[in-house]
A and B are shown apart, each in its own frame.
Chain A
Amino acid sequence: GEDVEQSLFLSVREGDSSVINCTYTDSSSTYLYWYKQEPGAGLQLLTYIFSNMDMKQDQRLTVLLNKKDKHLSLRIADTQTGDSAIYFCAEVTNAGNMLTFGGGTRLMVKP
Chain B
Amino acid sequence: DAEITQSPRHKITETGRQVTLACHQTWNHNNMFWYRQDLGHGLRLIHYSYGVHDTNKGEVSDGYSVSRSNTEDLPLTLESAASSQTSVYFCASSDPGAPGDEQYFGPGTRLTVT
Contact = CB atoms under 8 A, between A and B. Distances in A.
**A contact residues, range:** 20 to 34
Given A48-B100, A98-B33, A103 B41 contact: yes
A44 B45 CA distance: 17
A24 interface: no
Contacts of B50: 97
Contact of A97 (B41, B101, B108): B101
Contact of B102 (A45, A98, A104): A45
**B contact residues, range:** 20 to 34
B31 A97 contact: yes
B45 A41 contact: no
Given A88-B42, A103-B42, A97 B94 contact: yes
A42 B40 contact: no
Contacts of A48: 100, 102
Contacts of B42: 4, 88, 101-104
Given A40-B108, A97-B101, 20 more contacts: A35-B105, A41-B107, A42-B90, A42-B105, A42-B107, A42-B108, A43-B43, A43-B90, A44-B105, A45-B102, A45-B103, A88-B43, A92-B101, A97-B94, A98-B33, A98-B45, A99-B33, A99-B43, A101-B43, A103-B41
Interface of A: 4, 31, 33, 35, 40-45, 48, 50, 88, 92, 97-104
